[in-house]
Amino acid sequence: MDKTVSPDAISTILSNPSPESSSDIPEIVVQVLDLKLTGNRYMFNASDGKKRLKAILPSNLSSEVISGNIQNKGLIRLLDYALNEIPTKSEKYLIVTKCEVVSPALEMEIKIEVKSDESGIILKPKQEDEVKKDGPGIVLKPKQEMVAKSAAQILRDQNGNMAPAARLAMTRRVHPLVSLNPYQGNWTIKVRVTSKGNMRTYKNARGEGCVFNVELTDEDGTQIQATMFNEAARKFYDRFQLGKVYYISRGTLRVANKQFKTVQNDYEMNLNENSEVEEAVNETAFIPQTKFNFVPIDELGRYVNGTELVDIIGVVQNVSPTMSIRRKSNNEMVPKRDITVADETKRTVTVSLWNELATNVGQELLDNADKSPIVAIKSLKVGDFQGISLSTLGRSTVLVSPDLPEAKKLKSWYESEGKGTSMASIGSGLGSLAKNGARSMYSDRVSLTHITSNPSLGDEKPVFFSIKTYISLIKPDQAMWYRACKTCNKKVTDALGSGYWCEGCQKNDEECSLRYIMVARVCDGSGEAWISIFNEEAERIIGCSADELNELKSQLGDDNSYQMKLKEVTWVPHLLRVSVAQQEYNNEKRQRVTVRAVAPVDFAAESKFLLEEISKKVSHQNA
């Protein structure tokens, strides 16, 4: 039997523009015509041979077109859809939310002639329940007035009927997230809160306000970010609880700002004070929990100073006390706490927790630090402080001892092997830090001349390179260190009376520490350059702390021991990971090269690297 369209499929869709559930949809097969990409979605004309209806495939079905499953002049079966009216246009659009391919492209468009003697439609009186058609016979329900129920109405219906909530939800018209667009009117969604940000304040030309975001996930796994400002933010901040399921209605959608979006969705949602948010009870297993895309710690290098956020899972190794940091933008003090986590790659990384995460979750981790808890953290920013570091944002989520397969696997590894294993910091630069393309001492290897001969390097943002070089000079008369707070490492000044004053911590301390901040001249076979070196990297190069070097300098007022120590470290080969950025001085841009990681030369690995480079050059010359 030839594959063809369903008779009067378009009339069937028009008579039931918003089916209450997929079980209400009869067999509807249409032909795809005039398939084309418009923006980031595919549009087409759905045809039953007699009539046409403009249709849109949501972005999650674009892959079906790209892979060739859905083709122009092919046939698809509609499994779920919604018919939307677009205010700016007179016609209605069919939003295909679920479909399956019936046939690839046919040779030609299906056309069915309409004949008066074979129209086959027998209309019964208006009061009868259904309309029947002779022949193959599909049963068409008469057109009914479809009323979209709000979140509050659905909850009132459920409270008046003691049937299970899941079964009731199947009888309501709950829209999947993938079907929503800015042109829709009334809709209700059923979603789980999989991420909740902190309440943030802002100040602009229109005044002051507050805002917070949540990430919502429906039963199909589709996600969307919802934002609330001012009155709506204050109204819904306490109502939205992480992990709970809600019915939401009376919101608006707009095209997502790519710079700020955190989920894969073309749209973002705004909820105002008139939006309805009602908790759906007994829905613990109905909608997926928070989704993670974990990145191993030894692969974080590729994300440094990028726009992409990462998720990690690790064993907590260390938790610092809470410290207060003064925010430059508004001079406000905000709490911060650093934790160190490790994973099966035997690498560690420092994660900075801010605001409520520092005081609440951070305190929980501090209280249980001796038990080495597992943490899963979503939406972290990757920075280059101390080589590589992570920092939470307002939208970040931290789960302690999560019920995840990855957490159980990591806990088992740590108990059996990891607890007694030596861990190295991902920022230390020791050995190869990379797998599958992550940065290491043997990636992005360049000569010093490559850096110094390109004055525009790092003009827009810092760029990173690896170099093999020698320290040729460290000036002994430079200011090689600064006095630092023992808590936050910021610069301190002499306090009134005695001790030292830390502006960052807003307190006096009797003691302080010295931290390196120096410059050195380095050279290789191509040339030389001046580089900036900070504390951890300088300690590895000089071989002692700034406090210890200061003691040598102060011995008997003789600088000989101090100068000998500096000479000892010259002409020793090092592998350096450096950043190159532009710095403005006296209205003139200058290139600044900063050491981000230091490692001794592994001569076996270095020889292998050089042989590979020689092989590449020989192959290139013979090509």
* pLDDT (tens digit per residue) in 472-492: 999 988 989 999 988 888 899
Handedness of CA 289, 290, 291, 297 (dihedral sign): negative
Q: pLDDT tens-digit profile of 184-215?
A: 767 889 998 888 888 888 888 888 899 998 98
**Would you call 576 exposed, middle or buried from its count of C-beta atoms within 10 A (0-12, 13-18, 19+)?**
buried
CA distance 586 to 598: 31
DSSP type of residue 178: G
For residue 164, is pLDDT > 50? no
Phi and psi torsions of 235, nearest 5°: -70, -40
Helix (H) or strand (E) holding 347: strand 347-354
Nearest to residue 33, comparing CAs of 51, 15, 21? 51
Alpha helices in 417-502 (DSSP H): 448-452
Q: Following CA atoms 396, 397, 400, 401 in sequence, which dihedral angle do they give, to the nearest 10 degrees?
A: -120
Q: Which two tokens stand for residue 10?
A: 């378009």
Helix, strand, or coil (residue 483): strand
pLDDT of residue 160 exceeding 80 = no
Distance of CA 154 to the CA centre of its chain: 33
Q: Provide CB contacts within 8 A for 412, sequence distance 6+.
A: none
Structure tokens at 367: 């209280």
Model pTM above 0.85: no
pLDDT at 531 over 60: yes
Look at residue 148 and tell me whether its pLDDT is greater than 70: no
Q: Which pLDDT score, from 0 to 100, does residue 431 have? A: 35
If you write DSSP's letter for every residue of 415-429 in order, what string do you get?
HHTGGGS--EEGGG-
Q: Write out the H or E segment, with its range, that includes residue 186.
A: none
Reading the block at residue 95, the tokens are: 């939003």
pLDDT in tens, 319-346: 999 988 887 666 778 899 999 999 998 8
Q: What angle do CA 123, 126, 127 make, to 5 degrees?
A: 125
Helix crossing, 535-542 with 546-554: angle to 10°?
60
pLDDT digits (tens, 9 = 90+) for 437-474: 334 566 678 899 989 888 888 877 788 888 999 999 99
Q: What are phi and psi of 82, to 5 degrees?
A: -145, 140
Cross-strand bridge partners of residue 424? 347
Token readout for 36 is 């084309």
**Residue 60's pLDDT band (boundaries 50, 70, 90)?**
confident
Three-state DSSP at 532 gives strand
Local confidence band at 351 (pLDDT 50, 70, 90 cut-offs): very high
Classify strands 513-523 and 481-484 as parallel, antiparallel or unpaired.
antiparallel
Quick one: average pLDDT of 68-75?
A: 92
pLDDT above 90 coverage of the chain, percent: 32
Sequence-distant (≥ 6) Cβ neighbours of residue 613 within 8 angstroms: none
CB–CB of 277/151 below 8 Å? yes
Q: Give me the pLDDT at residue 156, please.
A: 60
The one-character DSSP state at 505 is T
Instruction: Give the pairing type, strands 92-103 and 207-217.
Output: unpaired
Read off the pLDDT band of 144 (50, 70, 90). Answer: very low
What is the spatial distance between Cα 233 and Cα 200, in angstroms, rounded to a whole number?
Answer: 10
Tokens of 584: 């403005």
pLDDT of residue 603: 85
Helix (H) or strand (E) holding 324: strand 323-326
Can you tell me whether residue 541 is helix, strand or coil? helix
pLDDT category at 513 given cuts 50, 70, 90 is very high
Mean pLDDT computed over every residue of the chain: 81
Which pLDDT score is estimated for 133? 44
* Overall average pLDDT of the 161-176 stretch: 53
* Choice among 92-96, 120-124, 442-446 with the minimum mean pLDDT: 120-124
What is residue 132's predicted lDDT score, i.e. its pLDDT? 44
Residues 6+ apart with CB under 8 A from 339: 316, 318, 319, 320, 350, 351, 353, 362, 365, 375
Q: Give the pLDDT confidence of 249-300 residue by residue, as tens digits.
A: 999 998 887 666 667 788 899 999 999 999 987 765 555 667 788 999 988 8
Alpha-carbon gap, residue 257 to 160, rounded angstroms: 41
Asked if 96 and 81 touch (Cβ cutoff 8 Å), the reply is yes
Q: What percentage of the chain reaches a pLDDT higher than 70? A: 82
Length of the chain: 623
Q: Residue holding tokens 């378009």?
A: 10
Are β-strands 573-585 and 513-523 bridged in parallel, bridged antiparallel, or unpaired?
A: unpaired
- pLDDT, tens digit, 9 for 90 and up, residues 554-592: 876 555 788 889 999 999 999 998 888 888 777 778 889
- pLDDT of 432: 37
- Residue listed under structure tokens 């020791």: 430
Residue 204 corresponds to which tokens in the numbers above?
Answer: 């602009």
